[in-house]
Amino acid sequence: MSIVITGATGQLGRLVIADLLATGVPAKEITAVARSAEKAAGLGVRVHTGDYDRPETLAGAFGAGDRVLLVSGTEPGHRVGQHAAVIDAAKAADVAQLAYTGVFGGPDADFLLADDHRATEELVLASGLPYTLLRNNWYTELAVPDPAGALARGAVVNSVPAGARIATAPREDYAKAAAEVLRTDGHLGVAYELSGDHAWTYGEYAEALAAAGGRPVEHRTVPGAEYEAALTAAGVPALMATILADVDVAIGRGRLAGTPGHLSKLLGRPTTPIAATIAQLIG
């Protein structure tokens, strides 16, 4: 039996593997699935070279009784087919657990970013495999991009309405939760809604950033089309810019404000507060 992490060289996958090792899981019992063996060489675990876009390369990645973490792909609109290839390979191998990193809200998440995740959850359930659904809220690092730049400009700019709340946690917290459900029992057939303990506003974030940086910072809301255009001008691909602007709309509708406490329960401690992440990001 192995614990198998797909997308292992990504930021989340690396953190999951590091946490498994740090908590005593032997390296020989962990397999990293990655497109590049060279990039995975420093992970300190066994490596299987496999590509979501080449299903044949996933043969042999999994074995009967394995616990598998399917880390979602990074290309919206292309991910469902990629995930299906992993699910099919896991089913053929008769794995003991398939954990999937989805999106907060699961089937009720009605924003563009969630489309691929909802479809993937349906595939996971239809597979008949023992599953764990890890429905991650927004990563703090993604919700507060370029805090140093915002501090220098004196403004946090997006299209989130004033007063709208979002309950983020840093990537490391989500990774620790994923590692926990892989190395311990009692998580099969469960959907965890993972979010930070405190839902904050961008006004509160601006205040925290100002306190950390020692200069005034305000939150400035701009129309969605203007924000999307600014993202595209900054080099964000058009589809992703549309998705990110739509996430702001979802935040405004309260879709990412829930604080059910599932993440802190898995962590065995409170989630990391945004002030701590700000301090880390701005040095």
CA distance 272 to 245: 25
Residue pointed to by tokens 């614990």? 3
Reduced to 3 states (helix: H, G, I; strand: E, B; else coil), residue 190 is strand
| pLDDT at residue 283, as a whole number | 75
- Dihedrals φ, ψ of 133, to 5°? -105, 120
| pLDDT at residue 39, as a whole number | 92
| pLDDT at residue 74, as a whole number | 87
Give pLDDT tens digits along the chain (283 positions): 799 999 999 999 999 999 999 999 999 999 999 999 999 999 999 999 999 999 999 999 999 999 999 999 988 889 999 999 999 999 999 999 999 999 999 999 999 999 999 999 999 999 999 999 999 999 999 999 889 999 999 999 999 999 999 999 999 999 999 999 999 999 999 999 999 999 999 999 999 999 999 999 999 999 999 999 999 999 999 999 999 999 999 999 999 999 999 999 999 999 999 999 999 888 7
| pLDDT at residue 207, as a whole number | 96
280 burial (CB, 10 Å; 0-12 / 13-18 / 19+) is middle
Q: What one-character-per-residue DSSP string does 65-121 give? A: T-EEEE---S-TTTHHHHHHHHHHHHHHHT-SEEEEEEETTGGG--SGGGHHHHHHH
Sequence letter at residue 248: D
Q: Is 96 left (phi over 0), alpha (psi -120 to 50) or beta?
A: alpha
Q: What is the pTM of this model?
A: 0.96
Which segments of the chain does DSSP mark as H helices, in order?
11-22, 37-40, 79-93, 115-127, 140-143, 147-153, 171-183, 202-213, 224-233, 238-252, 262-267, 274-282
Domains and CATH numbers, the chain: 3-137+171-195+258-271 (3.40.50.720)
| pLDDT at residue 282, as a whole number | 87
**Cβ–Cβ under 8 Å, residues 102 and 135:** yes
CA distance 191 to 181: 11
In the chain, the largest separation of any two C-alpha atoms, in whole Å, equals 57
CA distance 282 to 5: 30
